[in-house]
Chains A and B, each alone.
Chain A
Amino acid sequence: MKLKGAEVLIRCLKEEGVDVIFGYPGGVVLPIYDALYSSDIKHVLVRHEQGAAHAADAYARVTGKVGVCLSTSGPGATNLVTGIANAYMDSVPMVAFTGQVPTGLIGRDAFQEADITGITLPITKHNFLVKKGQDLVRTIKEAFHIARTNRPGPVVVDLPRDIMAGDMDFNGYPNEVGLKGYRVVRNCNMGQVLLAVETIQKAERPVIYAGGGVIGSDASELLQELAIKMKIPVATTLMGIGCFPETHYLSLGMLGMHGTRYANYAVSEADLLIAVGVRFDDRVTGKISSFAPHAKVIHIDIDAAEIGKNFGVDIPIVGNVKQVLEEIVPRLQPCEQFTEWHRTIDRWKEEFPLTYSESHEEGRIKPQYVVEQIYYATQGHAIITTEVGQNQMWAAQFYKFTQPRTFITSGGLGTMGFGLPAAIGAKIGRPDMTVIDIAGDGSIQMNIQELCTAVEQRLPIIICILNNHFLGMVRQWQELFYGGRYSYTDISVQPDFVKLAESYGAIGIRVKDYQDVMPVLQEALTVTDRPVLLDFWVEREANVFPMVPPGESLYNMLGGDEE
């Protein structure tokens, strides 16, 4: 059957189960947009390509499917770059299609030409430039396969205009991929599994350190089974939030730089650390040489290159987290009793709870209070996206997450401007869920144009700006480590967010009194047809505590013990 390249692309996407594309049109992708015009695949028109990448990323995180974004060549493609890097750092399955100038013009600095496969080489799991029509179908198959299997990640497929506009034979979508150099990890080493079982059984002070890999492999239930069966306390990374209910008595919350004191103390005192789907990031370990100093370490991860990359471990197990836990958990004899270890942790929890002073100053609210009220207003049942900085850490600390795929945040790259487009992607992926972006006044301005996308799509997402008129996290570091020299972090000059929201056709409400927080949130939750932007004026110089200063060990935490 003869079809245009763009029509073949759409057919292949349908075969892959793609039902939504986040994109922005342009010159060389006209043939693709023409094919989309008569397709039943939903296309969400963003207002900047970065928004498309973040929305596709968040869509993938909430649904577990592969997110898809589309841009034109040159500037369209380079605008995706931050979003691609973001998905790469957080191991999110995504396929980014970029238009490219016609094959005959590649390499000649044609109008809107950029070497996007070259540019994205170090920030993609793999990328392709389709140079011949006959390679198109196979390439799409491989791109989706690579994006979703093993350690997921973004794949870029660069599509020259002539291939999209030209006719080609389409003989159906293949069932198999023929990648010789890429094998899906299917088994784990049973010797290591048995060793892990024996070690877990014998441990006296075990701690689970769980990360994004648990959520990515849909292993949250198994992890909970492991923890509850063996009565092992669970600390999660930022990316692991939601894989274990934070309301459970075994939960230690988050560990690391802004983790709880009890999580960091537990890891520091543990005799066994079960590291599951994690990569020993510097924000988690603090000073690496004094991380978990008394612990034997079991490290389960699908990416062999993560084993021993940052931290030497005792029992490495390379494999899909879910499959490995399926082998480990049934082999364990349940732990029947609470021990001295649990009592020690309970004492830490009593002594060093995650808390803040509730004295609100006139016209300013405590930011942590806002996050807590969001938790109460949604009864803990919502998808929370965040921007990056203090807002992100307070969201991680003070909202109690109980479900996987409900905390959507830019962990590895730390991308300001992620939260709003992520909320759009999340709401489109999970229209049944309340979606709230916990934002800062700095970050929200980085992709504020996506408010227009949300209005056009009639998405009732709620944006909660914790507005301290500062680039708060950088200001905090300046206060703590640079003698209070607030170099270029005061952003008191800013738009009137309420009017800005209204000009986009959204609802905007300013809140300066803590007593108004709950009523306004409840009102926002009743809106069904448009976004609501809540501009909470929060205490200007509130800090995120506790905090491990950069380069220090997890034992040396600032704050969170006196307030």
Chain B
Amino acid sequence: MKHTLSVVVENQPGVLTRVATLFRRRGYNIDSLTVGRTENPNISRMTIVVDGDDVIIEQVTKQLHKLVEILKIYDITEEPTVDRELALVKVRADSQIRGEIMQIVEVFRARIVDIGRNSLIIEATGDENKINAIEDSLRPFGILELVRTGKVAMLRGAK
């Protein structure tokens, strides 16, 4: 099962390497990993999606805790969260089918951010399922390039 870990770390060079090395070394599978600064410039937050059973997740969490620069780890899989992912999709689009693509874009409340002669770039934001759905809908037109950020997440409420 996929677990989402929200990991608060000191914003120092090498932290990402330490985390990545730990996952590689112990053979855990990172589904996605995002990292960025928080409201405090000395602190970064990583959102790590890991695939594994409870035993593996427990080990991942305990091993992460041993890294000196890691401050806090929350498993937010079961918690009420807001989570988002952003995707950019370059799709083949000649003039005849642009209208159809634009309809899909509208349904998903995505945006067209670039128009080329035979292609469009679409920006979509949402949870993982929504991004999967828009990807599936655009595939028949021919996806030329696709990039996804991976998930960022935040607990709901005051916590």
Q: List residues of chain A with CB under 8 Å of any chain B CB.
A: 117-118, 121-122, 126, 146, 179-182, 303-305, 307-309
Q: A118-B17, A304-B62, A308-B58 are in contact. Are A181 and B25 (CB under 8 A)?
A: no
Q: A121-B21, A122-B25, A182-B68 are in contact. Are A305 and B59 (CB under 8 A)?
A: yes
Min distance, Cβ A273 to any Cβ of chain B, angstroms: 20
B67 within 8 A of A: yes
B70 within 8 A of A: yes
Looking at chain B's contact residues, the main secondary structure is helix
A-B pairs with lowest CB-CB distance, top 4:
A305-B62, A122-B25, A126-B68, A182-B68
A-B contact pairs, 21 of them (CB 8 A): A117-B14, A118-B17, A121-B17, A121-B18, A121-B21, A122-B22, A179-B68, A180-B10, A180-B71, A181-B9, A181-B10, A181-B67, A181-B70, A181-B71, A182-B68, A303-B66, A304-B65, A305-B59, A307-B62, A308-B58, A308-B59
Min distance, Cβ B65 to any Cβ of chain A, angstroms: 7
B65 touches A305 (CB 8 A): yes
A151 (CB) vs chain B CBs: closest residue:
B66
Docked pose: A181 CA to B58 CA in angstroms: 18
Q: List residues of chain B with CB under 8 Å of any chain A CB.
A: 9-10, 14, 17-18, 21-22, 25, 55, 58-59, 62-63, 65-71
B55 touches A305 (CB 8 A): no
Docked pose: A514 CA to B68 CA in angstroms: 54
Docked pose: A180 CA to B69 CA in angstroms: 8
Docked pose: A455 CA to B95 CA in angstroms: 86
Docked pose: A182 CA to B10 CA in angstroms: 12
Residues of B within 8 A of A121 (CB): 17-18, 21
Residues of B within 8 A of A146 (CB): 68
B62 (CB) vs chain A CBs: closest residue:
A305
B25, B62, B69 — most chain A CB neighbours (10 Å): B62
Docked pose: A307 CA to B9 CA in angstroms: 24
Docked pose: A146 CA to B9 CA in angstroms: 18
Residues of B within 8 A of A182 (CB): 68
Residues of A within 8 A of B66 (CB): 303, 305
Docked pose: A309 CA to B62 CA in angstroms: 10
Min distance, Cβ A128 to any Cβ of chain B, angstroms: 9
Min distance, Cβ A306 to any Cβ of chain B, angstroms: 9
Residues of A within 8 A of B9 (CB): 181
Min distance, Cβ A151 to any Cβ of chain B, angstroms: 8
A306 (CB) vs chain B CBs: closest residue:
B62
List 7 extra interface pairs beyond A122-B25, A126-B67, CB under 8 A.
Answer: A121-B17, A303-B66, A305-B59, A305-B62, A305-B65, A305-B66, A309-B59
Residues of B within 8 A of A307 (CB): 62
Residues of B within 8 A of A303 (CB): 66
Docked pose: A117 CA to B63 CA in angstroms: 19
Docked pose: A146 CA to B70 CA in angstroms: 14
Q: A117-B14, A181-B10, A181-B70 are in contact. Are A305 and B21 (CB under 8 A)?
A: no
Docked pose: A382 CA to B52 CA in angstroms: 49
Docked pose: A206 CA to B80 CA in angstroms: 46
Docked pose: A74 CA to B63 CA in angstroms: 29
A308 touches B10 (CB 8 A): no
B69 touches A181 (CB 8 A): yes
Residues of A within 8 A of B10 (CB): 180-181
Q: A179-B68, A181-B10 are in contact. Are A305 and B63 (CB under 8 A)?
A: yes
B68 touches A308 (CB 8 A): no
